[in-house]
Structure 1
Amino acid sequence: MTEETIREQIETQLRTVFDPEIPVNIMELGLVYAVKIKENFNVNIDMTLTAPGCPVAGDIIREVEEKVRNVEGVTDVHVHLTFDPPWTKEMMSEEAKLELGFL
């Protein structure tokens, strides 16, 4: 397994995690700020939520950890939740903006 292969598989898994209030995956929403693959394929993910008071924050984080941990080769996963910078609609992909009617 190469770091590039693992990164692709991680990103594929992250595209299956959806914000329950918005029918778009967290990658297209721009909620994932960074995926860092460290020594021994320990993965650190910096991400945010659409709102600091998101009632399903714990569920989303657990789903991210679970799905990334299931990627072959990944030894551990740490999700760092941050609100700096705060999420805005401008962080969404063009596809997500189109799907949600923001274009």
Structure 2
Amino acid sequence: MKTEDAIWSALEEVIDPEVGVNIVDLGLVYEVKVDDKGRADIEMTLTIPECPLADEIVKNVKEATAAISGIHEVNVSLVWEPKWSPARMNDRAREEIRSRRSLV
């Protein structure tokens, strides 16, 4: 498995605590790059710029990525363009959110 693919898989385990869905399915991760020295650069956003859990989410992204073999450094860039919208979610995220609402 390519290192970038391994990172994408690891990021599927990082849950947005407010929404309860992983950040990949939510469409929060825009790009993952790894250089030949083992530095991972991740470009991502949050559902809202003033997210009170931003530090926790970024910490979890760094920890999940650093656990990948061959990764020695992790840089996470929070970006606000393009702006996140629910249209960025995949079908799995939509279904998970729908099922949570039906339990309430």
Instruction: State whether TM-score is above 0.5.
Output: yes
Output the amino acid matched with 2:83: P
Distance apart, 1:12 and its partner CA: 1.6
Aligned residues: 98
List 4+ stretches of structure 1 deviating above 2 A: none
| Aligned equivalent of 1:58 | 55
Letter in 1 for 2:66: R
Structure 1 residue 39: deviation in Å?
A: 2.5
Question: Given the alignment of the two structures, is residue 88 of structure 1 paired with residue 85 of structure 2, yes or no?
Answer: yes
Q: Distance in 2 between matches of 1:68 and 1:19?
A: 16
State the identity %: 38
- Taking structure 1 as the reference length, the TM-score comes to 0.89
**Runs of 5+ consecutive residues of structure 1 not aligned to the other structure:** none
Q: Does 1:8 align with 2:10?
A: no
Alignment partners' CA distance in 2, 1:60 and 1:71: 17
| Equivalent AA in structure 1 for residue 11 of structure 2 | L
Does residue 1:18 correspond to 2:15, yes or no? yes
Q: Indicate the residue corresponding to 1:40 in structure 2.
A: 37
Residue identity matched to 1:87: W
SS in structure 2 at match of 1:36: strand
Deviates more, 1:6-15 or 1:30-39: 6-15
Deviation of 1:5 (Å): 2.4
Could you say what secondary structure the match of 2:15 adopts? coil
Question: What amino acid is the match of 2:92?
Answer: E
